[in-house]
Structure 1
Amino acid sequence: MTEKLYYKDAYIKECEANVLDIIEKEGNVLVVLDKTPFYPEGGGQPSDIGTIDGIKVNYVSEQGETIYHHMEKAPKNKKVKCLIDFERRFDHMQQHSGEHLISGVIFKLYGGNNKGFHLGEEYVTLDIDIDHFSEDMIKKVEDEVNEYIYANRSFDTYMVTKDEVDKVPARKRINVDEDIRIVEAKDMDCCPCCGTHVKTTSEVGIVKILKAERYKGMTRIYIKCGKRALKDFQLKHDIVTNLNKALSVDENGILDRVNKQFEEIEGLKRESSRLKSILAGIEAENIIKNAKSKLISILIEDKSFEDIQLIGSIIENNGYIVILASLEEQKILFLNNTDIDVSCGKLFKEHIKEFNGKGGGKDKRAQGTFDNKEDLTKFCQFLSMTVREKL
């Protein structure tokens, strides 16, 4: 049995402990101590990391009453010094405590139950058994949670027996056969929990709801709390500041300016597309004028594959077998709009790999890509030779 110091003091950073056991398992070293400040993974919260006698602790797990410290190698001493990564610990305390406040407010305002919780590296997710959260609901929850934070109430943790659970003002029914640990922020939230938490709500700092989306008939809510929320704000503030400078408007005018530029870009894209179609038509006409058979096979140096597709489709509609390659992008287009028995897709499937290419298609159309111009050129020559035998 390992004494769990993090339950006595969630702010503990280090301690001395005695090594009880060292287990070699599947290339890992698992160290058991008589007591530990390291929180093991559980209840949706990741484990602590840190060092034991300067040796890295990568992960901490719990089985029964024993806690295992997964290490790179075993410590040499029987009495060791444990040091946790407290910045990570406190981050987890902020996130987990903020999740409790969000869950409590959602239950209070809308009767929604937290059915799943995950504390990730970037954000926290909660799965709530409400099918849809409106923007208004999200704002009300966020506002009330942060009011709780400003009130600077205490987070209390305590153990209760199975006979006492009915007296606990929990937001969900508790069914247990043994003693259970309760975390309570008075008048805000109360539920069983094995995680580490801050002493007062003010230490959560701020809770920000990033988004809410439908998930398996429920709603998945993404949040950031405390320092994570501050860093997120700092990042987005930098983005807004740079946009202010780039667009020569204040933050209130950014959306209007961006929307206006977006409309202008869409107009330019339409005009560009129209002009490309005209140019493709002119080029296709010139190619058809110079065609000496029903096969048109050309390697083009300075055009994108998109341009080639436009040209190819116009030539194809005039009843040709078309082989066009973009040397710029090392891609090939193969079209057959004739009665000649040539399956574009079959030829690609059977032969393109011989030329180190990738691609495929159907009877009338196929396309592929190559790593170099030499292989592309050789494959074009092969296709041309194969088609000419059918003419």
Structure 2
Amino acid sequence: MGSLQGIYQQDPYLLQYRSLVTGSVSENGRNGIFLENTIFYPEGGGQPADSGTLVCARRSYEVLHVEERADGIVHWLAGTAAPEIGTTVFMAVDVARRRDHMQQHHGQHILSAILEQKHGWQTIGFHLGEETVTIDLTTRDIAPELLREVEEEVNHIVMENLPVKVENYRREELPESLLQKIPGDEEEIRLVIIPGIDENACCGTHPRSTGEVGPVKIVKTEKVRGNLRLHFICGSRTIRWMGQTAITLRNLEQAIGATGSEALSRLEKREAELKKLHKERKELLLLKYRWEAEQQESCAAMIGSLSVLVQHFAEADMEMLRGIAAVWCEKPGRLAVLAGGCGPSYDVVMAKGQAVSAAVNTLAVDIWPLLKGKGGGSPDIVQGKASELPLNEVKKRLAEALV
């Protein structure tokens, strides 16, 4: 029924078949077999491999991956067992995975054709991923309204249900414009053709008509190495995405208490209010931290010319400790070791102001063992966690280090 590599290309709808095991291979703890003929598509051209099962002598073997090599196509199997050479196996391709790959790959052909023919943006990269399909385009940006036009045109071609043809040509039979995209060592060229829309050299599995691609949705774009990467989905993936998007939208509308444009308006208003509250909170917290720092003036100890504050704030978290330390160290010649929380784990911040020559991260090397903790930072500020708070011992160690 065709050459070794021809079955899945000649008839991608043939999903069950019998063949003879002709060889085996073991590498890095994996076992694989070669078959006389195969309906499994091997990974290549940006399209992932098929998966499925092999059945031999009432035993089933899971096909995890399929790889094309110079000596044939390897079917990598789960586990350590494999059918013996010379036996016949019954192949069954994972139908849902094959259909998904056909939808995504052919959707890419249509999308790339529109982008190049109408706008001059060539596809220089293609990857069929588990979540989305991506193509890399020779442009840095595409306006959102233009992307919507492209998406609409692609879906129009899908809904026209145009026939998809697969034809083989000798290299000398093809025009130079098409040969520019084909490696020079390929003499037999397989073209996937949508009449009047696209002619593309491709080894992948494709449907009989564009309608089988199903709805196409451009999800997002991102800039990658000076080009634009476009994420999209087709067919069943789009339908699932639409269902999940509808659920998310309904949940958002319920949380906001409005629908449609009114929900968006309320959300924008709440966002503006939240930003205002965040700004006011930062201003109030600064006043709070400044007040707390002022209350500690009498608690600080003079070590040489430095004013050193070693204090525990039971109600403080890391944010509050950093805030108090920052205010305390605004004045030169000040150093702080502050702890927060009620245990058994405590937040710790060590910081210094100007005119303190000792580096805090160097001082911390001797302090962390006393606290039975650890952390990291810079010469100006260190933070971390502690399990004990022997603050008097900390004061003594600082006095020894700073004198």
TM-score (norm 1): 0.91
Q: What SS class does the counterpart of residue 258 from structure 2 fall into?
A: coil
1:245 aligns with 2:244: no
Question: Counterpart in 1 of 2:352?
Answer: 336
Q: What SS class does the counterpart of residue 163 from structure 1 fall into?
A: helix
- Counterparts of 1:313-324 in structure 2, within 5 Å, are 313-318=326-331, 319-324=333-338
Letter in 1 for 2:44: G
Counterpart selection for 2:76 from 70, 78, 88 = 70
Instruction: Report the Cα offset of residue 79 of structure 1.
Output: 0.9
Letter in 2 for 1:368: Q
Question: Counterpart in 1 of 2:397?
Answer: 386
Contact 2:349 2:384 in 1 (8 A): no
Instruction: Report the Cα offset of residue 220 of structure 1.
Output: 1.2
Aligned equivalents of 1:194, 1:385: Cα separation in 2: 75
Aligned equivalents of 1:172, 1:326: Cα separation in 2: 67
Contact 1:97 1:204 in 2 (8 A): yes
Aligned equivalents of 2:261, 2:233: Cα separation in 1: 25
Instruction: Report the Cα offset of residue 356 of structure 1.
Output: 4.4
Q: What SS class does the counterpart of residue 172 from structure 2 fall into?
A: coil
Counterpart selection for 1:128 from 117, 137, 140 = 137
Instruction: Report the Cα offset of residue 41 of structure 1.
Output: 0.2
Question: Counterpart in 1 of 2:27?
Answer: 25
Q: What SS class does the counterpart of residue 183 from structure 1 fall into?
A: strand
Instruction: Report the Cα offset of residue 137 of structure 1.
Output: 2.2
Letter in 2 for 1:138: L
Contact 2:218 2:233 in 1 (8 A): yes
Contact 1:130 1:218 in 2 (8 A): yes
Instruction: Report the Cα offset of residue 332 of structure 1.
Output: 1.8
Counterpart selection for 2:67 from 61, 64, 70 = 61
1:181 aligns with 2:190: yes
Instruction: Report the Cα offset of residue 170 of structure 1.
Output: 4.6
Q: Deviations over 1:153-173 (max 9, x none)?
A: 011111111121229x85965
Aligned equivalents of 2:357, 2:30: Cα separation in 1: 63
- Higher mean C-alpha deviation, range 171-180 or range 227-236: 171-180
Structure 2 residue runs without a partner (length 5+): none
1:311 aligns with 2:324: yes
1:368 aligns with 2:372: no
1:203 aligns with 2:209: no
Letter in 2 for 1:317: E
Q: Deviations over 1:88-143 (max 9, x none)?
A: 11000000000000011011111221111110111111111123212232122111
Q: What SS class does the counterpart of residue 56 from structure 1 fall into?
A: strand
Contact 2:367 2:394 in 1 (8 A): no
Q: Deviations over 1:199-236 (max 9, x none)?
A: 11111111111122332222211111111111111111
CA 1:109 to 1:341, structure 2 compared with 1: closer, same or farther past 3 Å?
Answer: closer
Aligned equivalents of 1:351, 1:325: Cα separation in 2: 12
Aligned equivalents of 2:355, 2:190: Cα separation in 1: 79
Instruction: Report the Cα offset of residue 253 of structure 1.
Output: 2.0
Question: Counterpart in 2 of 1:302?
Answer: 315
Aligned equivalents of 1:27, 1:351: Cα separation in 2: 49
Aligned equivalents of 1:386, 1:342: Cα separation in 2: 13
Contact 1:295 1:388 in 2 (8 A): no
Instruction: Report the Cα offset of residue 311 of structure 1.
Output: 1.5
Contact 2:171 2:188 in 1 (8 A): yes
Instruction: Report the Cα offset of residue 333 of structure 1.
Output: 1.7
Letter in 2 for 1:387: L
1:219 aligns with 2:228: yes
CA 1:143 to 1:309, structure 2 compared with 1: closer, same or farther past 3 Å?
Answer: same
Contact 1:2 1:65 in 2 (8 A): no
Q: Deviations over 1:352-382 (max 9, x none)?
A: 47844121311xx221212x522xx25x555
The share of aligned pairs that are identical, in percent, is 28
Q: What SS class does the counterpart of residue 207 from structure 2 fall into?
A: coil
Contact 1:126 1:222 in 2 (8 A): yes
CA 1:347 to 1:105, structure 2 compared with 1: closer, same or farther past 3 Å?
Answer: same
Contact 1:155 1:185 in 2 (8 A): yes
1:137 aligns with 2:146: yes
Aligned equivalents of 2:179, 2:247: Cα separation in 1: 40
Letter in 1 for 2:349: L
Aligned equivalents of 2:366, 2:398: Cα separation in 1: 15
Contact 1:327 1:373 in 2 (8 A): no
Aligned equivalents of 1:91, 1:381: Cα separation in 2: 67
Question: Counterpart in 1 of 2:41?
Answer: 39
Letter in 1 for 2:82: A
Equivalent pairs, count: 384
Contact 2:334 2:356 in 1 (8 A): no
TM-score (norm 2): 0.88
Instruction: Report the Cα offset of residue 64 of structure 1.
Output: 3.1
Letter in 2 for 1:69: H
Letter in 2 for 1:237: A
